[in-house]
């Protein structure tokens, strides 16, 4: 069962810090590791930030002149999605290798249970087994979402992986077999961001009579709304 718990109209926010480091091009993706924040720009650069000083600590040229659309930490490396290539960059040495993962831009990557899921503008989702060399990377599964469709964002819960669709819908898959288990949503524009949030849910009680800690899926759309969904089976 899927039910919408809340709809929130997004408001204009304010900047609490930063500088002119990225003024030459807008960042398009970011990632928090255990010690640093990685951001990317449309020129193929990775900027590594010290979160305590709120300052750039290092810049690495990855995909020269090619926009970076997505980042995902995979063990001791970071996977980077560009207009079709996937780069694997070592967190310590910054050694890297790459391969063609898709035919069009890679909108998002997520790591779940030892595998990496990638979503692309080519309408496919691919599931990869990672490694430290190109020879160690293997394509485990590939499937089409819908003809002519695009997934903007992916999010992994404990038992479900969800993807935000161009038509405002959200798709959910079983990560064990990559089978689609649900399609829901009513936002008027593409779902650009997804986040699972765990918290007390007063509407559901556990065996002790206390509010259960359930996962809620927050979905941000280009129509300016955030929808919060409760999915049965996502705990």
In the chain, domain spans: 2-8+28-231
Rg of the chain over CA atoms, in angstroms?
18
For domain 2-8+28-231, the CATH architecture is 7 Propeller (2.130)
18: confidence class by pLDDT, cuts 50, 70, 90: very low
Which of 84, 76, 78 is CA-nearest to residue 60? 78
pLDDT of residue 19: 41
Identify the three-state secondary structure at position 135: helix
pLDDT of residue 3: 55
Task: Estimate to the nearest angstrom the gap between the alpha carbon of 117 and the chain centroid.
Answer: 9
Choose between 33 and 116: higher pLDDT.
116
Average pLDDT, rounded, for the chain: 79
Which of 141, 148, 204 is CA-nearest to residue 173? 141
- Contact by Cβ (8 Å): 157, 216: no
Supply the pTM of this predicted model. 0.78
């Amino acid at each position: 069962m899927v039910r919408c718990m809340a709809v929130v109209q997004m408001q204009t926010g304010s900047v609490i810090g930063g500088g002119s480091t990225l003024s030459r091009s807008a960042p398009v993706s970011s990632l928090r590791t255990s010690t640093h924040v990685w951001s990317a720009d449309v020129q193929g650069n990775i900027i590594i930030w010290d979160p305590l000083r709120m300052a750039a600590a290092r810049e690495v040229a990855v995909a020269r002149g090619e926009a970076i659309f997505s980042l995902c930490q995979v063990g001791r490396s970071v996977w980077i999605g560009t207009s079709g290539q996937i780069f694997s960059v070592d967190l310590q040495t910054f050694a890297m290798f790459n391969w063609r993962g898709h035919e069009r831009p890679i909108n998002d990557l997520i790591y779940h249970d030892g595998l990496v899921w990638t979503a692309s503008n080519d309408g496919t989702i691919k599931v990869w087994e990672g490694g430290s060399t190109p020879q160690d990377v293997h394509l485990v599964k590939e499937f089409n979402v819908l003809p002519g469709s695009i997934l903007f964002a992916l999010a992994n819960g404990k038992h479900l992986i969800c993807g935000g669709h161009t038509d405002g819908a959200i798709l959910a898959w079983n990560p064990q077999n990559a089978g689609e288990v649900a399609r829901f949503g009513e936002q008027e524009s593409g779902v650009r961001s997804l986040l699972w949030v765990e918290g007390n849910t007063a509407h559901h009680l556990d065996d002790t009579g206390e509010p259960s800690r359930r996962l809620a899926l927050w979905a941000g759309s280009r129509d300016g709304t955030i929808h919060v969904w409760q999915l049965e089976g996502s705990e």
